[in-house]
Amino acid sequence: MVEFVGLFIDGTWAESDSGAVGQVINPATAEHVADVAHAGIADLERAVAAAARGFDLWRKTPAVERSATIRRAAALLRERQDEISRKLTAEQGKPLAEAWTEVTVSADLLDWFADDGRRVYGKILPPRVAGGEQRVMKEPVGPVAAFTPWNFPLSQAVRKLGPALAAGCSVVVKPPENTPCSVAGLIRCFADAGLPAGVVNVVFGIPAQISEFLIPHPVIRKVSFTGSVPVGKHLAAMAGQYMKPATMELGGHSPTIIFGDADLDKTMQILAASKFRNAGQVCVSPTRFLVQQNVYSDFVSEFTKRAEAVRVGNGADEGTMMGPLVSAARQKAVSDLVSDAVAQGAALRTGGERIGNVGSFYAPTVLADVTPAMRIMNEEPFGPVALFAPFADEAAVLREANRLPYGLAAYVFTENAGHMDRVAAGLETGMVTINHIGLAVPEAHFGGVRDSGYGSEGGSEAIEAYLKPKFVTRTAYV
């Protein structure tokens, strides 16, 4: 059955005014699984007006009540885990076990943000004048325009909705048009948890048209985007033009540094599993595998064997380790980058081709001896491709790691404490993980630097993006 995902405005799901829809295609089977309503200007006007009313109500709702509502939504998400995971796999392609994990992570994140909303403390200052009172309060920044991506449709939406709602903001969110069903499931959890009408509004449509309407709109006071660097720069510039604060979670090209003194068996196990998660469509995916010269050749050979053992198939089937890429367009983009690298002399150890002729499957791929001249060493592959290059010493590997303007995540594998300290200090990234893949926990900052964006979507830092300080000073008349 083909699902219909409407717009959610002022607490009601509905078609768009014009009745325009887009199709959602299962990337494993090429089947038409859903239609999604496409908003026009009149719909967007209604969404913004609802968000203005929603903000007025929600900001005055006590923080403990806001927190309880978000926690109820998290509980409903857990109750509906099976149904939502299946939808996620059908629209996005990831194996069911990964979809299941994404629901778990999303519920955990919601619990964290719900609790953090109860810890928004201001400050009382020692007054400069006798009998006076001086305080700095933190208020919700206002209605938010949020743009969320298709690679983790649930958890990336939660990283914006959670802190925004906990802080007392209302939201107009534009989730991805190609993976709308799982997000719609999340929004139903909020509605059924008692979130008042207008506090969250969901619109789909032509992305550029929606951002060009929402970002300049005077009701909108904050912009948050997760997606590619070029789109992020464009939206950040627009936000700047209208003097709106912005959070930008953009792409990465994570250096993954493997020293000869690392526990190579464990490192292999961790990285082979992590590289092909979500078919490599992960902003923090390990990408540039920089391996110390003395262990390079053996490491590449063993990694190639692991890549060849990855069982690729429909994410809904038991035993599938990696699903398809999200779309034919992504498959072509990955394929073009791999072809360019091979044409320029990279050694294709395995993969490098589409699998089958239905769906957008791409083989787990290992490219060795890549060089900075190749496009793939400069542009985010966002696919199941591991790039290998050898390095001589710490100074050389840090130069390569910091060569690109990206600065999201980096991984280091070593048993040498000196390497750990110096490399962690020298890496220009927002996150560094040593000897494991431990990013994206609710309690920790999540975000990049340089072209990977700014702001944070995790830890106690996340809620700050949805608050603004206000200084209130009072004195007794003398």
| Positions in the binding site for ligand NAD (CB under 6 A) | 147, 149-151, 176, 207-208, 211, 226-228, 231, 235, 249-251, 283, 380, 382
* Ordered DSSP codes for 409-465: EEEEE-S-HHHHHHHHHH--SSEEEESS-----TTS-----GGGEES-SSGGGGGGG
283 is catalytic: yes
Partners of 354 in the β-ladder: 362
Contact 410, 257 (CB under 8 A): yes
Please pick, among 169, 181, 283, 394, the residue that the annotation labels catalytic. Answer: 283
Separation CA 454–CA 473 (nearest Å): 32
CB-wise, 16 or 226, nearer to ligand NAD? Answer: 226
Options 98, 102, 177, 249, the catalytic residue: 249
Least distance to ligand NAD from the beta carbon of 102, Å? 13
CA distances 433 to 104, 255, 443, Å, are 22, 11, 15
Shortest Å distance, C-beta 364 to ligand NAD: 18
373-402 core/surface letters (b: 16 or more CB in 10 A; e: else): ebebbebbbbbbbbbbbbbeebeebbebbb
In the bound state with ligand NAD, the residue whose beta carbon lies nearer, of 183 and 467, is: 183
* Shortest CB 184 distance to ligand NAD, Å: 15
Minimum distance of ligand NAD from residue 156's CB (angstroms): 6
Nearest distance, CB of residue 417 and ligand NAD, angstroms: 32
209 vs 416, beta carbon nearer ligand NAD: 209
CA dihedral 199, 462, 225, 467 (to 10 degrees): 50
Pick 229 or 268: Cβ nearer ligand NAD: 229
* Distance (Å, whole) CA 404 – CA 402: 6
151 or 256, CB closer to ligand NAD?
151
**CB nearer ligand NAD, residue 208 or residue 358:** 208
CA 326 to chain CA centroid, Å, is: 15
The DSSP secondary-structure symbol of 127 reads P
> What's the min distance (Å) between Cβ of 17 and ligand NAD?
20
Q: Which two tokens stand for residue 29?
A: 């089977």
For ligand NAD, the closer of residues 108 and 249 by Cβ is: 249
Instruction: Give the nearest distance from C-beta 115 to ligand NAD in angstroms.
Output: 24
- DSSP string computed for 339-402: HHHHHTT-EEEE--SB-SSSS--B--EEEES--TTSGGGTS---SSEEEEEEE-SHHHHHHHHT
| DSSP 8-state assignment for residue 279 | G
d(CA 155, CA 104) in angstroms, rounded, equals 9
Ramachandran angles phi, psi of 105, nearest 5°: -60, -40
Residues in the chain: 478
Which residues carry out catalysis? 249, 283
